[in-house]
Chain A
Amino acid sequence: MNSYPILIIGIGNAFRGDDAVGLRVAQDIKKEAPDRVNVIVQNSDGAALMESWKNADTVILIDAVHSGGNFGTIYRFDVHTQPIPTEFFHYSTHAFGVAEAIELARALKQLPQNLIVYGIEGKCFEAGIGLSIEVERAAQEVVTRVRRDIQNVLPRKYTEYH
């Protein structure tokens, strides 16, 4: 059972350059996480994701994206008001990844009450450790925004920041 009302999930691979950004944001949030906020990191296995958010009211998920946008672009989705483009989180070689897990949970009526997804446009997904400058900057910005989300009532809007 997950007794925390807010669950923060950082997704990524620590050894694939900017793919680690979700993990990095989660680690920063964890340092000063208020009570009743649980922070976990995961790889992009869709079934495991669906399992991990099963008992949380509000979930904030952070992952790198590879959609052809400007490096470091931050995308924010309120999953209840819009579908996640399936090609968005398709960097993973898993046949069943983040976008599929979200849409499958929607079809099965198993989405958490609130689900916010932050996507950060990565620059380099080659093997190696460390974020690019653009993504590093975006990571800090996302940390601030996630902290604000935690503090505030979660707004159900889609916004795109540069």
Chain B
Amino acid sequence: MKSRTIKVDYLARVEGEGALYVKIKDNTVVDIKLKIFEPPRFFEAFLRGRTYNEAPDVTARICGICPIAYQMSAVHAMEDAVGVKVDGQLRALRRLIYCGEWIESHALHVYMLHAPDFLGYPDAIKMAKDYPDIVQRGLQLKKAGNDLVALLGGREIHPINVRVGGFYKVPTKQELFPITEKLKWARDAALETVRWTAKLPFPDFEQDYEFISLRHPEEYPFNEGRLVSNKGLDISVHDYDNHFMEEHVQYSNALHSLRKERGAYFVGPLARYNLNYDRLSPLAQETAHSVGLSGVCRNPFQSIIIRSIETLYACDEALRIIEHYEKPGKPAIEVQPRAATGYGCTEAPRGILYHRYSIDENGLITDAKIVPPTSQNQKTIENDLRHFIVKHLKLSQDQLTLQCEQAIRNYDPCISCATHFLKLKIDRE
């Protein structure tokens, strides 16, 4: 009987603090735990009693990388509750600010966090010594995204300009225009990024995943659409709670999210791409095609290429929105609170982010639920590792450990987002 253990006490190049524990016995994985030990964050609890219009700014604090996603899911859920629909240029501006977040988040992950795995470097700093121009391109691409978020959000980190009903302040066409040149550069850089990442070496690895993402009748999804999967799911965001459940596992501070009666599922760039390839811009589709990708990609290691394609799409879409932009008459539409429950789900860089709020007639929050993408992917990450390890048992301990870390980073996990604490209810008789 031969037993072997893989332990990574502190996962590097992921957002937040997590660890991995794997136990192998007789060439079988007998135990696997992706541990998340960031302290539980009580956002859902301390939102109760706050007003409906505080939710976007409070929840944006959950993550420094994807605050726009939190603001977008929060405003859509609140607008759903009060029965308001934001349309026209205000809606376009929301897509535009989301483009900025995708660009900065994806560029950071592709270049700084994931690429070193493929090229055999322990981190981006060592990689920069041999590939200074490439790392420089990544930093500049990220900066273009940051600049777009800062322009619309007031500042790069924890932007403050998004509100229920629209924005606090909207730019004039002249104010938006100067970023066009930067975005054109970014679009070219993203195109190069796709070509560069497509040449990286990829392990041969595919699973029969259930991909889940939003799907919109016309657009590649950011803020709106139905929740669909490649296994027949097609529901309104309102029905989320009927189809998904959260499960507490003892070794992690993050809840595992599961599809009821089915189990693990997969959210994020790969899911969006597989379910919405036909909604990408012609340039993004052509570029995917030129590097040998069809509309289907099931290898999670290739998510680095898909992230690059989405970055290209986000630059393209941002330029399109700016071209057609006219300053709206009012920065926001009037909102009157009413007692109701509202649902919002948007596509954070890492996948669907679900918010549900109940508010009373004064607009005070009585209940909140937030399901971030990383808790939805956790089970799939563990499943991937289980299958990957069995196929690669011959690798040395160091090599196998590194490849396990790489497999986790396929999902760009944001552990800070995923951590919150399960409320316990004990019935005694």
Residues of A within 8 A of B (CB): 43, 45, 47-48, 50-51, 93-96, 100, 103-104, 106-109
Contact = CB atoms under 8 A, between A and B. Distances in A.
Interface residues of B, number: 29
A100 B157 contact: no
Contact of B124 (A43, A45, A104): A104
B328 interface: no
30 contacts: A43-B64, A43-B157, A45-B156, A47-B108, A47-B139, A47-B142, A48-B156, A51-B143, A93-B16, A93-B38, A93-B64, A94-B15, A94-B64, A95-B12, A95-B13, A95-B14, A95-B15, A95-B113, A96-B113, A100-B123, A100-B125, A103-B125, A104-B124, A104-B128, A106-B125, A107-B129, A107-B135, A108-B128, A108-B135, A108-B136
Contacts of A100: 123-125
Nearest to A87: B10
Contacts of B12: 95
Does more than half of chain B's interface fall in helix, strand or loop, or is it mixed? helix
Contacts of A48: 146, 156-157
Interface of B: 12-17, 38, 64-65, 108, 112-113, 123-126, 128-129, 132, 135-136, 139, 142-143, 146, 156-157, 415-416
Contacts of B125: 100, 103-104, 106-107
A107 B132 contact: yes
Contact of A45 (B13, B14, B64): B64
B155 to A, nearest CB: 10
A93 B146 contact: no
A134 B135 CA distance: 40
B143 A47 contact: yes
A100 B15 CA distance: 14
Nearest to A102: B125
Q: Which 9 A-B pairs have the closest CB atoms?
A: A107-B128, A103-B125, A93-B16, A93-B416, A107-B129, A104-B125, A96-B112, A47-B142, A95-B15
A81 B126 CA distance: 18
A48 B416 CA distance: 20
